[in-house]
Every structure is written in structure tokens, then in C-alpha cells.
């Protein structure tokens, strides 16, 4: 059973370009979470999605950032018109279940390291 | 929000010694989880302890939870160089939130 997969592992973009980060959850997991991590800091929650639905996007900037988890295919985190402050590691995690008795164990991908030049 | 703190921020010990990391939080929780992150990697789940539990063990790991003090500790016994990593606690569940809140972590270095 493959783990959570993210690609690309490293992404370099110039200011103003678009960045697309992809995440394939573990098989059987329908709950996906995106986090951002700056050096020497913890993970900051960005968005929580289920198939075809954004459940909680309270941690995601309102402008330039968007996320989707289509019925088929990976979840995508899209950053438009990147700026240097977007440089960070972006992690995706998945879980098999989510309810108000949670949160439950999350399985993390290896991350995408975005560098904006 | 359920802001909290982990301490110490950094811990440096010799192989064979025990390492203790602490995590505090401010609001009620359903559970608290500990994760490990090796440099440049994703997080790996270690232990989940529920709010009605006081202690859990997994191999050389021991986690305690004191809900009256809103704090948890992670003890790694007989540490090894391979335990070198950052350790994060993630708490959540207050108000029906599905989203765990991660702290800034404790950076542990175990010298061989």
C-alpha cells in the first residue's frame, strides 16, 4: 500500500509564476489536509478537503491560493502569482476518517519544497 | 485557537540517556498526538492519547497526559542517534474541530 505521494518534491518558480502542488492520498483515504512549514517552525494548517468538497479553508490565504480534490485524480494546491514569501515546504496528509471525535492519525507525504526566486 | 507550546525548543543528549519533551495547550481536547519529523522529510505519527487516558506506551516511547494541567509529555528512553529528529505534538478536537494544531516542535539531537 503506497503511502501519501507528493510531487514535485522540489519546485522553483520565479516571482509572478504559478505553482501547482499535487498530492495523492493513501489508498482508501478520502480526507486530505494541506500544511505549510517554514524553516524551524511547526506546521500551519491551510485547508482540509474531502472528495469534491472543501471542508475547511480557514488557514489558506484568500488571495492567490486555491485547492481542489476532484473525484478522480490527486488533490491540487495552486498558488498563483507567487511571491518570495511563499517559499516554504508544503505538506499533504491524509486520513481514512474524520469526525467530531477526532482528529485522527494523519499520514504525511514527503512534502514539496517551493522556492520562489 | 488552541495555541500551545512545546518545550524545550531544543534538546541535546548522549546516546543511552532519556529525553523528555513537553507540550501544553489552552483549550479542551479530544486527543493529543505526537509526531516525529526527520530533517527534510514528512511527519511520522508516533502515538495518539485520548483525553480519558493518562499514559500510553509504544516501545521506548512513553506519553502522559494531564488534562487538569493541560499538558502532555513524551519520554524517549535509552535514546539512540537515530532518534535525532524534531518532535511535534498535535492537539485538537475542541468544538468538533477535525484539524489538529501543531506546535513549533522540539529539536532533539542524540550524540553517539
The verdict on a CB contact (< 8 Å) between A103 and B93 is yes
Contact yes or no for B99 and A41 at CB 8 A: no
Smallest Cβ–Cβ distance between A100 and the set B43, B96, B105 belongs to: B96
Substitution target in B30, B33, B36, B100 with the highest count of A β-carbons within 10 Å is: B100
Does A100 sit within 8 Å of B43, measured CB to CB? no
Nearest to B91 by CA among A47, A103, A21: A103
pLDDT at A78: 98
On the CB side of A109, CA atoms within 13 Å amount to 29
As a whole number of angstroms, the distance between CA B2 and CA A111 comes to 25
Q: Is the pLDDT of residue A62 over 50?
A: yes
Q: Half-sphere exposure (CA, 13 Å, Cβ side) for B85?
A: 19
Model confidence band, residue B4 (pLDDT cutoffs 50, 70, 90): low
Chain B residues within an 8 Å CB radius of A101 = 30, 93
Q: Give residue A1's pLDDT band: very low, low, confident or very high (50, 70, 90).
A: low
Does A25 contact B at CB distance below 8 Å? no
Q: pLDDT band for position A64 (50/70/90)?
A: very high
Mean pLDDT computed over B12-24: 97
> Which of A7, A39, A43 would best serve as a mutation to test chain B binding (most B beta carbons within 10 A)?
A43
Going by their DSSP bridges, the two strands A112-116 and A10-13 should be labelled as parallel
Confirm or reject contact between A90 and chain B (CB < 8 A).
no
Q: What is the dihedral of CA A7, A13, A18, A20, to 10 degrees?
A: 0
Residue B2: per-residue pLDDT: 45
A83 Cα to chain B: minimum distance (Å) = 22
Nearest to B17 by CA among B67, B78, B84: B78
- Contact list, A45 vs chain B (CB under 8 Å): 99-102
pLDDT score, position B1: 41
Amino acid at each position: 500500500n503506497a503511502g501519501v505521494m507528493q510531487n514535485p518534491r522540489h519546485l522553483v518558480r520565479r516571482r509572478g509564476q504559478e505553482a501547482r502542488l499535487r498530492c495523492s492520498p493513501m489508498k482508501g483515504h478520502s480526507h486530505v489536509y494541506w500544511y505549510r512549514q517554514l524553516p524551524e517552525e511547526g506546521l500551519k494548517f491551510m485547508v482540509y478537503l474531502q472528495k469534491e468538497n472543501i471542508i475547511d479553508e480557514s488557514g489558506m490565504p484568500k488571495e492567490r491560493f486555491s485547492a481542489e480534490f476532484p473525484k478522480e485524480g490527486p488533490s491540487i494546491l495552486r498558488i498563483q502569482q507567487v511571491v518570495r514569501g511563499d517559499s516554504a515546504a508544503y505538506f499533504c496528509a491524509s486520513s481514512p476518517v474524520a469526525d467530531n471525535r477526532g482528529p485522527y492519525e494523519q499520514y504525511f507525504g514527503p512534502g514539496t519544497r517551493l522556492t520562489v526566486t | 485557537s488552541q495555541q500551545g507550546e512545546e518545550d524545550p525548543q531544543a534538546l541535546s543528549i548522549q546516546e543511552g540517556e532519556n529525553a523528555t519533551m513537553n507540550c501544553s495547550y489552552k483549550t479542551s481536547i479530544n486527543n493529543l498526538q505526537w509526531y516525529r519529523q526527520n530533517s527534510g522529510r514528512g511527519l511520522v505519527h508516533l502515538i495518539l492519547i485520548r483525553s480519558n487516558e493518562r499514559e500510553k506506551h509504544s516501545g521506548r516511547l512513553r506519553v502522559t497526559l494531564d488534562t487538569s494541567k493541560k499538558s502532555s509529555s513524551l519520554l524517549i528512553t535509552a535514546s539512540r542517534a537515530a532518534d535525532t529528529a524534531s518532535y511535534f505534538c498535535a492537539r485538537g478536537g475542541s468544538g468538533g474541530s477535525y484539524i489538529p494544531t501543531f506546535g513549533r516542535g522540539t529539536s532533539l539531537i542524540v550524540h553517539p
